Structures are given as structure tokens and as C-alpha cells.
Amino acid sequence: MRKKSVFCAAFCAAAFMIAGSSPVPAEVMVLNPARMAASSTLSGDVYSHDVSKLNDYDLTTAWVEGASGNGIGEFVDLFFPAGTVITGGTIYPGYYKNQDIFEKNGAVSRIQVQSGSQIYEVDTSEGTASYSPDYKGVHFTLPEPIFCDGTLRVKILDVRAGWKYTDTCISELRMEYDDALDGYNASGEIPADEGFSNGASEIGGTGYAPDTGEADETALDLTSFAGWIYRWKHMTLKEPQEETILLSDLTSEDKAFLLYWYQYCMEDPRIEPDGEYGEYNRLSDGLLRKIMIEMFSTATVGDRNAFYEQYVEEVDEDGFCKVGATGDFGDAGYFFFRTDRKAEMDGGRLKVTGDIMVYDPAEEKYSPDMSFTAWFTENDEDAVWRYCFDELQVGGAYA
């Protein structure tokens, strides 16, 4: 049958049994993607081998690539929450409906698994040689965990050709993840029985919480956060200059410093003081990733490693990080972002506006010098702020 090359997307729901196989073992932590897409799909008038077949827990169905030739270079994208830690998976690299179908069609013998700059190759050839109705698939463990940036791409690198068709098939593909050490799972969800609440009220468009009339703590904290983004970029700058800083401008080192500032200065009930005098904070690796995602929407392996290299003083026997929590960040210095600010929704983003206060030696006081506008996008409702950084403009007009 002639192939049709299309870009196919499907939403996936998990079942619990695989046709012709045993249940997924309880100890294997399998994470179903929220959505999947394929570079191409073989389809016809009365059948479809779309990408949803990869995750339907049924070996009698399969995703079949739809490109010309044997499908080398074709891929599927699995969409997971940013920060999900993928450790490996299981693949059925062929069409396991029956022996005849298995042998007529091609089967994937080598794949590439990629998210961001992390790229690994996996040999799946053991599952392509012969058909067995009781086969349990090719289980693989990645050389290093992948810190998913939101998209995990699995690409066909090599195949075992079928004797009749040039189509290459995969019956099932399931990824496994590392459940965070502190009980926060890879999707960033906080278990209900942890009893954590963020304490942040809704913002009423004036910078005040509508339920209390008090200045909204979220707007105050986000102003401080924006201020430290700018200060970190310009530690020696005595007078602010006009500039726009985007989320994409922040390096892993920038994010590591801002996470250090957060765990040091912000009141977060998830962070445990450590030591007789509270000279350390104790955070699990999972919580570090969780907070990074809350602040920046993603947490890559580079972001994590930068934090470990610069700020983690010790990792204890339980895998928890000890991070310095004594002293202070000093006084305001040359300038600071005043925190009694206005906040309002602006085209789907939270906009916080206000003044930058600059020290006047002659007057021996801080006075307004420039304006700032910071935008934040909505994030996890369980996050302390519920918003992650998007853009900072210094010197822009504000209402």
C-alpha cells in the first residue's frame, strides 16, 4: 500500500493490560505522555497505524511510519512535563500482532533518545530477530537520566527489514522515570497528603489581594525576584540602564544563582533547615528541580549541574543537598526594585510594574530613578508564586 506522509498527533489514555502479555510490573514506574506526535504515519481508507498505538497497551496494534523507504530518520515525540527525569523504558520494536505480520514488516533495531542536548543511542536489535507471543519487549536503561525539557524525541536509526514490506513498526513504547526522592513525582505534582499550600492569594489587578485588602505577597516576591535577576546581571552597576532581559537570556549559572537566592530568602515550607543553628537548608534533588520549574518553567540537566557545582556543599547519605543558609545577601547596595508594586493581568501574563530606587549620597537616601516592568506566565497552582519568569524591561513606561 502507498504510504502517506503526515504529521500525526494523538492524545493517549492508559489501560492496564497488554494483549498477549503480562501486566506491567508494579515496581516499574511508567509515565504515560500527555501527548504524542509522529513525523509520519502509514494510513489508509479502512485502517490507521497512528502514533496513539504506541501507548495503547495492546500488542495487536502498532505505529507504522509513513515515509518512503524503510523509515530511518523518522521519529515520534513524547510530551512530558518539563523537568521529568527519564531513566529508561521498554520498546516492542516490531509489529507483534502475530508471527506472519512481524516478519513481513520492518522492526527498529537501533533508536536515538533525545531531549535538549542530551542524546543517547539504544540497541533494540534483540527484539527484532524472532517472534514470540510471550515476549516482554526490550527493556533499556539510559547511560544517564534525561532531564526532559518537555519533549522526548525517539528517532529510528536502523532497522531489520521485513521480507515483504518496507514499513517499519513499533508496537509499544513506554518510558520510565525517577520518582523524586522527596515524594514529589516527576510531573511536578505535590501529593495531597503532604499538606502543602502555597499561601498566595489571587491578584486583583491593583497589587492588592481582593480577599484581605493587604498588599499581595506574590507581587512583592516577584518584584524581589525580578530585582535580583537584574542585580545578578549587573553586580557592579551603580545606576540602572535601559535593558530587556528574556527568559531565554538566562544561563544555567543565572538560574542556579536565582535558585540559591530563592532557597536562601523565600519562606517555602518544603525547604527544611538543617544543622544545630540552621546554617544549612536541606533539599532533595527532586525539590530543586521542582522549584526551578516553578521559577523558569523548565529544569535542564545543565541548570541542575550548575547549582550543584556552585552552591551544594554536601550531599548526605539519603541524597539530600545541604545548601548554605546563614548570613545574608547584604544591604540594598546601589539600587533595588521597590516592592509595593502594582500587578495586573496583561494578555495572559501577570505584569508587575514599579520603580527602581537608586541611592543618592548627597541626600543619603534612596529615590525613584527608573521604572521597570516584569512579566510572568501562569504556572503550577501548587507553586509558591503560581507564576514563572518570562520578561523584564528596565526603563519602560508603566501605568
Task: Give pLDDT tens digits for 23-76.
Answer: 333 344 777 888 899 999 988 766 779 899 998 888 899 999 989 889 999 999
The confidence score (pLDDT) of residue 206 equals 60
Question: Per-residue pLDDT tens for 108-145?
Answer: 999 999 987 789 999 999 988 888 877 888 999 988 78
In whole angstroms, give the CA distance from residue 165 to residue 64: 11
- Residue 316 C-alpha cell reads as 548526605
Residue spans of the chain under pLDDT 70? 1-28, 45-46, 83, 178-215, 276-278, 318, 326-328, 330-332, 380-382, 396-399
Of the options 3.40.50.920, 3.40.50.300, 3.40.50.620, 2.60.120.260, the CATH number for the domain spanning 8-177 = 2.60.120.260
The confidence score (pLDDT) of residue 220 equals 85
- Residue ranges of the chain assigned to CATH 2.60.120.260: 8-177
**Quick check: helix, strand or coil at residue 64?**
strand
Q: Which of 46, 151, 41, 63 is nearest to 107 (CA)?
A: 63
From the CA atom positions of the chain, what is the Rg in Å? 26
The confidence score (pLDDT) of residue 27 equals 42
The confidence score (pLDDT) of residue 132 equals 84
Q: Which of 304, 81, 290, 79 is nearest to 190 (CA)?
A: 290
Calculate the CA dihedral of residues 268, 272, 273, 276 and round it to 10 degrees. Answer: 160
Spatial neighbors of 175 by CB under 8 A, at least 6 apart, are 30, 31, 33, 78, 80, 86, 88, 89, 152
For all residues of the chain together, what is the average pLDDT? 79
Spatial neighbors of 383 by CB under 8 A, at least 6 apart, are 198, 294
Q: Which of 387, 399, 295 is nearest to 355 (CA)?
A: 399
Answer whether 387's CB lies under 8 Å from 377's CB. yes
The confidence score (pLDDT) of residue 63 equals 95
The confidence score (pLDDT) of residue 173 equals 94
Sheet order of strands, 280-284 included: 272-274, 280-284, 320-324, 312-315
